[in-house]
Structure 1
Amino acid sequence: MSASERELFLDAANRGARYLSGIRDRSVAPDERAIERLSKLGGPLGAKGLDGPAVLALLDEVGSRGTIANSGGRYFGYVNGGSLPAARAASVLSLAWDQNAALRSMSPTAAVLEDIAGGWLLDLLGLPATASFAFVSGATMASFTGLAAARHAVLSRAGWDVEGMGLFDAPRLNVVVGEEVHVSVMKAVGLLGLGRERVVRVPSDAQGRMRADALPPLDELTIVCTQAGNVNSGSFDPFEEICDRAARARAWVHVDGAFGLWAAAVPSLAPLVRGASRADSWATDAHKWLNVPYDCGLVFVRDAAAHQHAMQLQPAAYLAPDAQREPAHWTPEASRRARAVEVWAALRSLGRDGVAEMIERSCAQARRFAAGLRAAGYEVLNDVPINQVLVSFGSDEMTRRVIEAVQRDGTSWCGGSVWKSRAVMRISVSSWATTDEDVDRSLGAMISIARAF
């Protein structure tokens, strides 16, 4: 590394440190002027480029001001976690390494970290020790991978090679989802050619849980998609009853646990996921409740052979066979960044107790939000089993006005949603950085804004 390259790298680190040092004092969302200034990053691409320091300065001075303060403690939108200090630092080191995590020969370190972190995660989440795992971009690709394994396994039982022959003339698969299925699962269903309009939707109860008593007849050509942590209410499907029905029919059960699956790592919350370990595949995000940098999703599959068959690269002359696990044979991508670096760092820095404490603290803070809003006279519409709070400020119009005003105010940021045909503000507490003081400060702003209308 030349002196100028070193100086540029350290300048980037220093700018990042300055950005983080002021994260708690700034507005959570950028103001309109900062967003308008982002146009300075565009314009025609000139024949001559800028030097490195000028590029970095422009990016920081214009781009940093247009960001959402996701790394602070008062961002409660979209179930976005922040980045743990150890995971953030590991990401910087990983950036310097610039590893391609496709093959063990491309990065022994990346491959070994996947082996280690994958094993830790199976144990932490109470999943079968022999299950396979993969590091992908997020829960959408995690569900895609898990459902691809399901498609392979289910059609193989009918004597059909879906990877070789495709879906033309294949036996018809049945996909069963809950009424509250997340859009990421439906996207995966569409990408896999299973037909978003062909799924069977099962009614849900008042908290968004799939009603096991309303399941249609299942058979060995059926894939049932369940949910651990409804994106609105935070509720959990009744896994024991669903898995009982599926086991008798030899149906495949997939669990979309983008954030809720982490309840399995917390003794006090583990009853919420009772029976989920009996499923066949599981999808979750590490960039949500494990609080690693974006992007990082995780998939686990009980039938490792089905997983590998669905994802493996076809033989190529330059890919020598290897008895050890090759990451590219378990993911939709070949070339990809070394996501396991940050996951390993997060788990190593927290330990089992630290993971449980972080998740349990988020849930306690969600209950703190709910109690404060109820005490102020506003309606909380869900049971708040984990980290999600749904609040109405009266009419749908009033609720939307309050959401807009809260977002403009900048003390905190919460998104809107629709729950059981009612407009709601959705509060998602997912960041390690959130303190009780952050909650109380945010509550004060929300209540003051709502009362001003």
Structure 2
Amino acid sequence: MDELRHLFRRAADHAADYRLSLPDRPVGVPVDQAALNEAFAGPLPDAPTPPERVLADLVAAAEPGLVATAGPRYFGFVVGGASPAATAADMLAAGWDQIAFNAVTSPAAVAAETAAGTWLKELLGIPATASAGFVTGGQAANTAGLAAARHQVLADAGWDVERRGLTGAPAVRVFAGAERHATIDRSLRLLGLGTDALRPVSTGPQGAIDPDALAAALRDAGPGPTIVCLQAGNVNTGACDDLRRACDLVHRHGGWAHVDGAFGLWAAASPTTRHLVDGLETADSWACDGHKWLNLPYDTAFAFCARPDVHAAAMSYAAAYLVGSGGAPAGADLTAESSRRARGFAVWAGLRELGRDGVAALVERCCALARRFADGLSAAGFEVVNDVVLNQVLVGFGDDARTDRVVAAVQTDGTCWAGGTTWRGRRLMRISVSNATTTEADVDRSVAAIARLAHGIGGELVH
């Protein structure tokens, strides 16, 4: 027992040392991938290795290849760092090693998900009667929401898709904005609907779906099983669809409205940004990440559904040996995974740590820091091409080739990390401010580094 306690403490010490180093360590540096692979490679030993030696070898092998994604100057991929209480709870979850299938395999895991799900719905303005499935990410959340949508629109057409499959089923039309997230397309592939079911709808200047174009598309399509995928937080600009008007249009045509709100749905948690997602409560299903703006550990996300019975019908299963199944939908009834880690503990802890006011302050601070980024880069002579309404900033540094060189230089420099994207035919730097530990000084330091590197690269500055 003493050896186990010592091992776990060593692991916790390594984790704490790493987290404490984040404000000062390079965010991303060039890595010799071959050398990193070699450090992990080699033949599997014949004899057992002492756990403490295994841990030491793991730390030594991994350290050169760690990216400071949890740090205050990582601005790529809408990634938030995990908060202290949530991280500690996740460490406990690993130690407890619970199977969060149902209340028989882990009563505590199901209770934590139930409580945390209630808090999440309150924060986001989702109806209290909705179901909440704890999944791995936006992909899984969108898939669960669209599975529920597929079930209901086909049931309305007299077709039991869970029993009969899709062969011979009425065709399902899926309308989505032209700037939807790529996980929507993948979910349609995974659900057997296929991307040919997609009917792209044009978007406005900032990438939000055009309500008039949606109205025309629904009218022209006529009756039939219809799903509409809406977006809270365009992946590039942060723009949000007019959810109230769009959901009203969908329901008038007998369809199902699903909202992909991976990060943008958190606008609902702050009085200053709530107007951007007005009407979200009128949708039928919602996808939202926790490891983005809520600053929970990877991997944490949520699939909400206004009709828990439909959610469970689309996702659950039963078997004689699965003791405890068949009751009120919970745990694995609402997800595609049976062997589930107890991620609800970290969600519960992270929400308790922040509280309602803390979540609102986190959203407001990240939005303010994004505007500070935009103002700083504009003042330095660079082009901010989007309206900064949330935490997303798009920056151009001249022609596409020059912008790509600036992005590459920033990623190599290590002061901060930002990714590249293509939006409206242009290559741009994409900056996402999502970390609770990011400060004004971090933004100013990053702006200075980006300006220094960009001015050192030849070419015309203005596009």
Please give the range of the TM-score, normalised by the shorter of the 2 chains. over 0.9
Deviation at 1:318, TM superposition (A): 3.9
Q: Distance in 2 between matches of 1:196 and 1:333?
A: 24
1:245 maps to amino acid: L
The one-character-per-residue Cα deviations of 1:326-367 (angstroms, maximum 9, x if unpaired) are: 311111111110111111001111110000001110010000
SS at match of 1:32: coil
Q: Distance in 2 between matches of 1:352 and 1:186?
A: 34
Q: Distance in 1 between matches of 2:377 and 2:340?
A: 44
The one-character-per-residue Cα deviations of 1:98-140 (angstroms, maximum 9, x if unpaired) are: 1110010111110101110111111110011111110001010
Cross-structure match for 1:8: 7
Q: Distance in 2 between matches of 1:62 and 1:415?
A: 26
The question of 1:438 aligning with 2:442 is answered: yes
Cross-structure match for 2:356: 352
Q: Distance in 2 between matches of 1:38 and 1:195?
A: 37
The question of 1:252 aligning with 2:253 is answered: no
Q: Distance in 2 between matches of 1:173 and 1:135?
A: 27
Deviation at 1:322, TM superposition (A): 5.7
1:283 maps to amino acid: A
Q: Distance in 2 between matches of 1:340 and 1:162?
A: 30
Q: Distance in 2 between matches of 1:326 and 1:251?
A: 26
Cross-structure match for 2:151: 152
Cross-structure match for 1:452: 456
Cross-structure match for 1:287: 291
Once the two structures are superposed, the pairs formed by residues 38-53 of structure 1 within 5 Å of their partners are 38-53=37-52
Identity, % of aligned positions: 48
Deviation at 1:321, TM superposition (A): 4.8
Cross-structure match for 2:377: 373
Q: So what's the TM-score if we normalise by structure 2?
A: 0.95
Q: Distance in 2 between matches of 1:199 and 1:210?
A: 14
Once the two structures are superposed, the pairs formed by residues 88-103 of structure 1 within 5 Å of their partners are 88-103=87-102
Unpaired stretches in structure 1, ≥5 consecutive residues: none
Return the match for 1:424 from 417, 421, 428. Answer: 428
Contact residue 34 and residue 65 of structure 1 kept, 8 A: no
Cross-structure match for 2:238: 234
Deviation at 1:301, TM superposition (A): 0.4
Deviation at 1:164, TM superposition (A): 0.6
Contact residue 38 and residue 66 of structure 1 kept, 8 A: no
Over 3 Å counting, the alpha-carbon distance change for 1:173 and 1:33 in structure 2 is: closer
Cross-structure match for 2:83: 84
SS at match of 1:408: helix
Over 3 Å counting, the alpha-carbon distance change for 1:37 and 1:243 in structure 2 is: closer
The one-character-per-residue Cα deviations of 1:241-281 (angstroms, maximum 9, x if unpaired) are: 21121121111000000000000111110000011211100
The question of 1:306 aligning with 2:310 is answered: yes
Deviation at 1:291, TM superposition (A): 0.5
Cross-structure match for 1:206: 205
Cross-structure match for 2:218: 217
Q: Distance in 2 between matches of 1:280 and 1:220?
A: 17
Cross-structure match for 2:122: 123
2:456 maps to amino acid: A
Contact residue 35 and residue 66 of structure 1 kept, 8 A: no
1:314 maps to amino acid: A
Contact residue 104 and residue 324 of structure 2 kept, 8 A: no
Deviation at 1:33, TM superposition (A): 4.5
1:437 maps to amino acid: A
Unpaired stretches in structure 2, ≥5 consecutive residues: 458-463
Contact residue 405 and residue 449 of structure 1 kept, 8 A: yes
Q: Distance in 2 between matches of 1:290 and 1:226?
A: 21
Contact residue 75 and residue 418 of structure 2 kept, 8 A: yes
Contact residue 172 and residue 224 of structure 2 kept, 8 A: no
Over 3 Å counting, the alpha-carbon distance change for 1:339 and 1:321 in structure 2 is: closer
Over 3 Å counting, the alpha-carbon distance change for 1:33 and 1:217 in structure 2 is: closer
1:39 maps to amino acid: E
Q: Distance in 2 between matches of 1:270 and 1:66?
A: 39
Contact residue 83 and residue 291 of structure 1 kept, 8 A: yes
Q: Distance in 1 between matches of 2:111 and 2:196?
A: 41
Q: Distance in 2 between matches of 1:318 and 1:419?
A: 48
Deviation at 1:35, TM superposition (A): 7.1
Cross-structure match for 2:460: none
Return the match for 1:395 from 389, 396, 399. Answer: 399
Cross-structure match for 2:142: 143
Aligned residues: 452
Aligned CA RMSD, in angstroms, stands at 1.3
Contact residue 38 and residue 63 of structure 1 kept, 8 A: no
Contact residue 30 and residue 67 of structure 1 kept, 8 A: no
Q: So what's the TM-score if we normalise by structure 1?
A: 0.97
